[in-house]
Amino acid sequence: MKALFLGATGLIGSQILKYIQKQEKFENIFCFTRQKIPSNSKTFFITYNSSNTDLEIKITEVVNQNQKDKWIIYLFTGETIFGLINNKKWENIYKSRVLINQKIVSVLEKLGANIEKIFSASAIGIYYNSKTQEVDENSEIQPNILTNLITEWENTVLQSPFKEKSIILRIGAVLDKKSKVYQSLILPSLFSIGINFKPTSFFPWIYNEEIPLILDYLLNQDFNGIVNTVANNTTYKEFLEIFIQKKSILKKAFIIDIDKKFLEKILKILMPKYYEIVYSIFSSPKINSIYLKNYNFKFSNIEEVIEKYL
């Protein structure tokens, strides 16, 4: 068995890579990246430029050299949605999710690669503007710029010949010291300050080290399709209070409540075409997972995760 990996240097991808390297289930792991990283005896980092042709050529070479092998494919590329979004950043967000996935799937199909499983990422932001305050994988999706992006992202796999061999993780807010969530909150939290946008929404989260464990679990299930990858649901205000109390010098939390309509107005001024993408972060319903009901989470207690791992 061999692995082909896109996104191995990102927040989630690097955690998955570290896990599968320790497992030693793969004879070789081929990671395609724009960064120049030294390879080792089993993990090969193959540099490609921004050209789709270059990426296609290098994947073709690797797959053709290993024609007799089965493959597990990891598609975890994606530029962050945090920060102000302009046309250029939106182009990169779209390209890093949709166009690269399309390219990989197209090449694998053309080569007739022997695919065991494809794992791909997605986001719980697809439930933004849900008609209900509690959703699962079967809930109705409301169309808007964000949900349309995520749907197209998922369809790169779901509308391919590999649909029956694919698992898509709709991932919640990823908690990790390297995550944008942590980095944006840690400094004001030291001084006990937090901002909540009311009415407060849910905060579906997942600790980064849990994601490869879930992949391992799903690999051993007779399953394909979409999985809501969240450990638990607190409200955003509850999360803020716990985070600040654990990290602040005073061990107290002073939460400033601001009307969400004010946030919406500001975002519409700063990025009128793309405001919903950032606004959705503070507008999540409660996310349930039908397909992880029998999975035993290792990191499910938000207080413990913040105290011990962040």
Asked whether residue 130 is assigned to any structural domain, the reply reads yes
Domain limits at 24?
2-175+204-231
Beta-carbon contacts of residue 192 (< 8 Å; ≥ 6 apart) = 244, 248, 249, 250, 252, 253, 254
Mean pLDDT across the stretch 283-307? Answer: 95
CA dihedral over 25, 29, 20, 137, signed as positive or negative: negative
pTM of the entire predicted model: 0.94
Angle between helices 302-309 and 236-247 (to 10 degrees): 30
Asked whether residue 164 is assigned to any structural domain, the reply reads yes
Give the pLDDT confidence score for residue 14 in this predicted structure: 96
pLDDT digits over 84-122, tens only? 899 999 999 999 999 999 999 999 999 999 999 999 999
pLDDT digits over 144-164, tens only? 999 999 999 999 999 999 999
Give the pLDDT confidence score for residue 260 in this predicted structure: 95
pLDDT digits over 229-277, tens only? 999 889 999 999 999 999 999 999 999 999 999 999 999 999 999 999 9
Give the whole-angstrom CA distance, residue 122 versus residue 208: 15
Give the pLDDT confidence score for residue 51 in this predicted structure: 67
Give the whole-angstrom CA distance, residue 80 versus residue 96: 10
Average pLDDT, the chain: 94
Give the pLDDT confidence score for residue 68 in this predicted structure: 85
Give the whole-angstrom CA distance, residue 94 versus residue 85: 12
What would the two tokens of residue 185 be?
């909150």
Asked whether residue 293 is assigned to any structural domain, the reply reads no
Asked whether residue 95 is assigned to any structural domain, the reply reads yes
Asked whether residue 189 is assigned to any structural domain, the reply reads no
pLDDT digits over 17-41, tens only? 999 999 888 999 999 998 889 898 8
Q: Is the pLDDT of residue 15 over 90?
A: yes
Domain total for the chain? 1
Give the whole-angstrom CA distance, residue 95 versus residue 88: 11
Confidence of residue 310 (pLDDT cuts 50, 70, 90): very high
Q: Is the pLDDT of residue 143 over 70?
A: yes
Asked whether residue 306 is assigned to any structural domain, the reply reads no
Asked whether residue 68 is assigned to any structural domain, the reply reads yes
Distances in Å between the alpha carbon of 22 and those of 18, 73, 308?
Answer: 6, 17, 22
Q: Is the pLDDT of residue 45 over 90?
A: yes
Residue whose pair of structure tokens reads 């395609």 in the numeric block? 32
Asked whether residue 195 is assigned to any structural domain, the reply reads no
Cis peptide before 199 (omega within 30 of 0): yes
CATH number at residue 39: 3.40.50.720
Mean pLDDT across the stretch 213-217? Answer: 96
Contact yes or no for 45/31 (Cβ under 8 A):
yes
Q: Is the pLDDT of residue 176 over 90?
A: yes
